[in-house]
Amino acid sequence: MRLRREHRPASLTADGNGLVLVTDYNQGLVSWIKSLPVSDRKWNGTAWVIHPKHGPGVVNAVKQHMWETVTLPVVTQQVSGPQTGTLDVLYIGTCKEQPSGESVAFGWSGEAWSVIFPEAVLRSWFHIADNDPTFAESLYAVLAVERTANPEQIKKAYRMMSRQWHPDVCAEPDANEKFIRIGKAYDVLSDTNQRDKYDAGLALSATMEGNGYKRVTFRSPVRCGRITAEYLQKLSRKEVTKIVSWGDIKDGTGRVLVTSWRMGDKHFTERWIEANNE
């Protein structure tokens, strides 16, 4: 026997973060809410929290989809400008295009998916521009270094990436494949002659029309990190606008955190490893 849920009248209230909308489920209304920028809406488990600037739109959408009238409350919004801070982000998911058209990845920090990384911000930090398809899949992108990276920067990136992707500690489904690719990238980019030839090959490939590139879902090449960033505080989440630095998360004994998500698991796994190869 199916239980019929009692009708909840729609309500729109305000709290310190924004507007709190409680209604029965309605697909049209949810679609409308999801069309808002991801940093302007948040599902808190029982209600939608929405940025106050969308208040009139929320009232109209409830009327249109639910045939109910809600009153727009007065919001005393704490306006906060850009801030800079250091965040321990334990796991970063895949960038996903939102109904609003933006592509973002969520980061787990402070026991919640509370950090929003726009894809463009991640790409910029990892030097993987979307408008340079040849480079996007290059060995430089594997190590997340710039084309102009010097040998020391390449070595440092290799150490960080190989530590994070070592199949003995990383449980990501493609860890082994990635680890091999990281090693290959280092072999080529740390050898001047091979690197010169590789660069020439990249330059020739870039002259080809279309060059067979298909845009793929972007994923941060590193899953976790101690990230110093500029961000906007929105609906109790942080929307990163610029990454200033990205290092390993270390404990008091100098061990480094490696996080990965095993296929089928409901949460990522944390492993602390000795960082004795510095």
Whether 50 and 19 have beta carbons less than 8 Å apart is answered as yes
Question: Binding segment for another protein among 56-64, 92-100, 170-178, 205-213 (CB under 8 A)?
Answer: 205-213
Q: Which pair of structure tokens corresponds to residue 33?
A: 């809410």
Min dist. Cβ of residue 153 to another protein (A): 20
Distance from CA of residue 93 to its chain's centroid?
Answer: 5
**Of positions 114, 199, 219, 236, contacts another protein by CB under 8 A:** 199
Stretch that binds another protein, among 48-56, 90-98, 120-128, 186-194 (CB under 8 A): 186-194
Q: Is 136 in the site for another protein (CB under 8 A)?
A: no
Specify the residue for token string 């290092």. Answer: 247
Phi, psi dihedrals of residue 262, rounded to the nearest 5°: -75, 140
Q: How many CB atoms lie within 10 A of CB 257?
A: 19
| Interatomic CA distance for residues 221 and 265, integer angstroms | 20
Is 70 a binder of another protein (CB under 8 A)?
no
207 binds another protein (CB under 8 A): yes
Residues 6+ apart with CB under 8 A from 235: 17, 18, 39, 40, 41, 42, 49, 50, 51
Segment lying near another protein (by CB under 8 A), choices 60-68, 148-156, 196-204, 264-272: 196-204
Report, in Å, the least distance between residue 206 CB and another protein.
9
Could you tell me whether strands 237-247 and 112-118 are parallel, antiparallel, or unpaired per DSSP bridges?
Answer: parallel
Report the nearest approach of another protein to the CB of residue 193 (Å).
5
Tell me whether residue 116 or residue 182 sits nearer to another protein (CB atom).
182
Question: What is the binding site for another protein (CB under 8 A)?
Answer: 134, 137-139, 184, 188, 193-194, 196-205, 207-208
